[in-house]
Structure 1
Amino acid sequence: MEAKPCIDSLAVKNSHVLPPDTNSHGTLFGGKLMAYIDDVAAIASVRHCRQPVVTASTDSVDFLQPVFEGDTICLEAFVTWTHNTSMEVFVKAITENLLTGERKVCTTAFLSMVAVDEHNKPTPVPPVYPESKEEKWLHEGAGKRREQRNLRRKESKELAEMFGTGLPWKSDE
Structure 2
Amino acid sequence: MKNQYLMTAAFGALLIFGQVNADEDDLSKDQIPKAVISAFEKAYPNAKDVKFEKETFEGKEAYEVEYKEKDREYDLLYSADGTLLQKEEEINSKSLPEPVTQAINKMYPQAEIKEAEKLVKPDGTLAGYEVEIKTAGKKVELELDANGKILKTEND
TM-score by length of 1: 0.25
Name the larger-Rg structure: 2
Could you say which structure has the greater relative contact order, defined with CA pairs below 8 angstroms and 6 or more residues apart?
1
Would you tell me which structure has more strand in proportion to its own residues?
2
